[in-house]
A and B are shown apart, each in its own frame.
Chain A
Amino acid sequence: METLRTFGHFTRDSLALLVRGDRYYYGWIAFLLLLMALGGFAYAAQVREGLIVTHMRDQVSWGFYIGNFTFLVGVAAAAIMLVIPAYVYHWGPIKEITLLGELLAVSALVMCLGFVLVDIGRVDRFWHIIPFVGRLNLPSSLLAWDVLALNGYLLLNWTVVTYLLYCSYTGKAYNRSIVIPLVLSSIPMAVSIHTVTAFLYNGLAARPFWNSAILAPRFLASAFCSGPAILLILLQILRRTTRLKVQDEAIFKVAELMAYTMGFNLLLTAAEVFKEFYSNTEHLVFIRYLFFGLKGHTGLVPFAWASILTGAVAFLLFLVPRTRTNWVTLNIGCVLIYASVYIEKGMALIIPGLTPDVLGDIYVYRPSLTELLVAAGIFAMGFLVFTLMLKIAVPLMLGEFPGPASKGQPLRKPAAYIS
């Protein structure tokens, strides 16, 4: 009962914190809300008219929404790139920022679920996929597994960060026997969310482009470089805009890990390309459509090569210690990695998987304005969630949270977050 009341105070104080801020904060929130409103209007029209307002059709029945979903699952999974060095290898400098990785995972998952929700034709029946309420087709449907894995991972991360923040609010030490197992179990969970998402495509014999055994490893490799790329930029912004200390070492260590995963990602892509071109079967048609175009349709070609090129350049920038520890080249590398993987997951995975269609028809898909607006709205929602969570988490991490202190209670300053 006492705990419940304190938690109530925590919630109230947190909410109070959200409405306080300077004009940059308000401007940023207003900008996100504006994007969300635009997305909301576009989505309302989509609900009214049907998915006809997208450019998806029977031949290419999944598109931009599912591409973004797939990319963001990777971002969510990438939180473990911070958890592993911090908790498996007990590497100090990273422990302080692990919480930020988990917050990023939570907001990425919110966006994932948003993209799935806008993609389904009957959003009024979303409850059919809720376990025990609807009718989940287990064990045979990978989409049903994905619902469980993603929501489980969201719940896990949400619980851990809320508990940790609550503990530093009350100034009491957290219970290690609760937190450490949860944090450690987030490692296999993170691997499983991206693996299950890969299996979603991988298991379809009808689509040879996806039906390759290295699809799941490729997903993991690309996720473990794109997720940290976002995080490295965010960390630099945070240490400029808040008093949060993020050590250079921590950033460089993450960058080093990214060099390995990016190299592995490029190797796996090369393995896939070799298998397709050397064996030269009828399945080559999809990868040919992607890299060279088919029957005069070359819309994807520049994207495909851009993804390869940016990935390769970023790999070199992160591989060489001098460019890895130079802020300019490091940030260029982050942007290039982001671009490479975003293009690869967003365009170069879904579309060539479905083009030509199963009967050889080529339907040229590109996202419609509605799809772009709705996607922008969902990204804005994710950023909003992330911003609001940071607004609460950063002062707590710094020991500056106004709540209990204003009530005359001493607040223990939590220097290293979880140790």
Chain B
Amino acid sequence: MSDDSSRHLRMTRRNSRRAFLGGALAAAAGALATGCGKEGMEAFLQRNFRELSRDDLDRIIRRLEGEAQRKYGRRIRIGAEPAMQGVVFGYALDLSRCVGCRRCVHACVKENNPSRDPEIQWIRVLEMEKEKGVDLEAADAYYDPAEVPREGHFYMPVQCQQCRNPPCVKVCPVGATWKEKDGIVVVDYNWCIGCRYCMAACPYGARHFNWAEPGIPSADLNPVTHYLGNRPRPKGVVEKCTFCIQRTRKGLYPACVEICPTGSRKFGNLADPKSEIRYILENKRVFLFKGELNTQPRFFYFYGV
């Protein structure tokens, strides 16, 4: 038996056992927890994304699209494009160019459907004093001068570093977050139990929690989404930057790269020796944020000039 088919068999066995146990459990608690009805029960019993068959996934996506339409009064599309063969995404940010304008922050919000009220932002731009270097004690994320950049300061945007050795994935008690083949660390919003252990484990503050029902004006909703990325999230789950998985898996740049007015942000395929990102890694002075923690980011800070 080939490795794949034996794995499939194991999976099916496990699933049927789980379906049985889960069914018994659901009879007790399902209706109570999510309201009566077939859809509520189905949502309650839904398996982890990585255990879903293509058919299950299609049906779930249709259900989620229907839910979003009822909630926001707009049609949205939830894609599930898999990682492309031979692609590993990498990101580089030129600290000598970034002026701290925070257009990336707003472009990210517009693209990724985070809650506006309460406010969630995936990118935090830190204003630092040149004299002190990267010193988090002297960093200010709430700077508000009339004009940027301010004299004597430099700016360091921080978002998910898509670690090769991600502490958040290691600690998740239920496997609701994992690293995809193209290097993107994703969250299954329908499997996360909201324990927030990953938030305690992340050294970059990249993970954000939906403390309340996400508030997004329906006019602001981006209808082009991905299951593991910017689809509307429920309350009580964790979310994070996914390198705009809904864009990058179709060959587009992440929203923050596209908007950056100074060209500080670079993105590309680490597996392609002729890519710009590889040129940067080979020719520029690069540093990894909190490199001593051995998280091995795929997000590289560099000095272009």
| Contact residues of B between 1 and 32, Cβ < 8 Å to A | 17-18, 21-22, 25, 29
Interface string of A124-148 (1 = CB under 8 A from B): 1111111011111100111110010
Taking a contact as CB atoms closer than 8 A, the residue among B175, B192, B205, B237 that contacts A359 in the complex is B205
Q: What is the distance, in angstroms, from A304's C-beta to the closest C-beta of chain B?
A: 20
CB within 8 Å for A133 and B202 given contacts A125-B191, A361-B141 = no
Give Cα A203 to B176, complex, Å. 19
Q: What is the distance, in angstroms, from B83's C-beta to the closest C-beta of chain A?
A: 21
Q: Is the CB of B203 within 8 A of A137?
A: no
Q: Is the CB of A360 within 8 A of B137?
A: yes
Q: Is the CB of A58 within 8 A of B208?
A: yes
Taking a contact as CB atoms closer than 8 A, the residue among A54, A116, A204 that contacts B201 in the complex is A204
Q: Is the CB of A129 within 8 A of B209?
A: no
Taking a contact as CB atoms closer than 8 A, the residue among A56, A144, A204, A356 that contacts B136 in the complex is A356
Q: What is the distance, in angstroms, from A46's C-beta to the closest C-beta of chain B?
A: 10
Q: What is the distance, in angstroms, from A353's C-beta to the closest C-beta of chain B?
A: 8
Give Cα A358 to B137, complex, Å. 10
**Could you say which residues of chain B place their CB within 8 Å of the CB of A122?**
192-194, 234, 236-237
**Could you say which residues of chain A place their CB within 8 Å of the CB of B210?**
50, 121
Taking a contact as CB atoms closer than 8 A, the residue among A58, A116, A140 that contacts B171 in the complex is A140
Give Cα A124 to B35, complex, Å. 11
**Could you say which residues of chain A place their CB within 8 Å of the CB of B199?**
58, 61
Whether B68 is near chain A, meaning CB under 8 Å from some CB there, is no
Q: Is the CB of A121 within 8 A of B139?
A: no
Whether A119 is near chain B, meaning CB under 8 Å from some CB there, is yes
Whether B172 is near chain A, meaning CB under 8 Å from some CB there, is yes
Q: Is the CB of B200 within 8 A of A50?
A: no
Give Cα A144 to B197, complex, Å. 11
Q: Is the CB of A50 within 8 A of B211?
A: yes
Interface string of A402-413 (1 = CB under 8 A from B): 000000000000
Interface string of A352-366 (1 = CB under 8 A from B): 011011111100000
Q: What is the distance, in angstroms, from B6's C-beta to the closest C-beta of chain A?
A: 20
Q: Is the CB of A141 within 8 A of B200?
A: no
Give Cα A292 to B171, complex, Å. 32
Interface string of B177-219 (1 = CB under 8 A from A): 0000000000000011111110111111101111111000000
* Interface size grouping (class) on chain B: 35 or more
Q: What is the distance, in angstroms, from B141's C-beta to the closest C-beta of chain A?
A: 6
Taking a contact as CB atoms closer than 8 A, the residue among B167, B173, B196 that contacts A121 in the complex is B196
CB within 8 Å for A359 and B126 given contacts A122-B236, A141-B172 = yes
Q: Is the CB of B171 within 8 A of A142?
A: yes
Taking a contact as CB atoms closer than 8 A, the residue among A58, A141, A282, A354 that contacts B209 in the complex is A58
Closest A residue to B214 by beta carbon equals A50
Closest A residue to B120 by beta carbon equals A58
Q: Is the CB of B201 within 8 A of A206?
A: yes
| Contact residues of B between 71 and 85, Cβ < 8 Å to A | none
What number of A residues sit within 8 Å (CB to CB) of B?
53
Taking a contact as CB atoms closer than 8 A, the residue among A126, A201, A204, A207 that contacts B193 in the complex is A126
Q: Is the CB of A359 within 8 A of B235?
A: no
CB within 8 Å for A204 and B200 given contacts A120-B194, A124-B44, A135-B175 = yes
CB within 8 Å for A359 and B204 given contacts A50-B236, A122-B237 = yes
Q: Is the CB of B203 within 8 A of A285?
A: no
Whether B170 is near chain A, meaning CB under 8 Å from some CB there, is yes
Taking a contact as CB atoms closer than 8 A, the residue among B137, B175, B200 that contacts A61 in the complex is B200
Whether A205 is near chain B, meaning CB under 8 Å from some CB there, is yes
Q: Is the CB of A62 within 8 A of B200?
A: yes
Whether B263 is near chain A, meaning CB under 8 Å from some CB there, is no
Q: Is the CB of B195 within 8 A of A140?
A: no
| Contact residues of A between 333 and 348, Cβ < 8 Å to B | none
Q: Is the CB of A135 within 8 A of B171?
A: no
**Could you say which residues of chain A place their CB within 8 Å of the CB of B197?**
141, 143, 200
**Could you say which residues of chain B place their CB within 8 Å of the CB of A237?**
none
**A122, A124, A129, A361 pick with most chain B CB within 10 angstroms:** A122
Q: What is the distance, in angstroms, from A313's C-beta to the closest C-beta of chain B?
A: 33
Q: What is the distance, in angstroms, from B43's C-beta to the closest C-beta of chain A?
A: 9
| Contact residues of A between 290 and 318, Cβ < 8 Å to B | none
CB within 8 Å for A52 and B196 given contacts A58-B205, A127-B22, A359-B124 = no
Give Cα A126 to B196, complex, Å. 14
Closest A residue to B21 by beta carbon equals A133
Interface string of A45-76 (1 = CB under 8 A from B): 00001111010111101100000000000000
| Contact residues of A between 50 and 104, Cβ < 8 Å to B | 50-52, 54, 56-59, 61-62
Interface string of B53-94 (1 = CB under 8 A from A): 000000000000000000000000000000000000000000
**Could you say which residues of chain A place their CB within 8 Å of the CB of B107?**
none
Give Cα A137 to B138, complex, Å. 37
Give Cα A124 to B211, complex, Å. 16
CB within 8 Å for A128 and B191 given contacts A51-B209, A135-B48, A359-B126 = yes
Taking a contact as CB atoms closer than 8 A, the residue among B141, B172, B237 that contacts A137 in the complex is B172
| 7 examples of A-B residue contacts, CB within 8 angstroms | A62-B196, A121-B236, A128-B191, A132-B17, A133-B18, A353-B200, A360-B126
List 18 additional contacts besides A147-B173, A358-B203; criterion CB under 8 Å: A50-B235, A51-B212, A58-B208, A59-B205, A122-B192, A122-B237, A124-B34, A128-B176, A133-B21, A137-B173, A144-B174, A203-B171, A205-B294, A353-B200, A354-B200, A358-B136, A359-B124, A360-B137
Ranked 8 nearest A-B pairs via Cβ? A121-B194, A121-B236, A360-B136, A206-B203, A124-B33, A52-B212, A143-B173, A52-B211
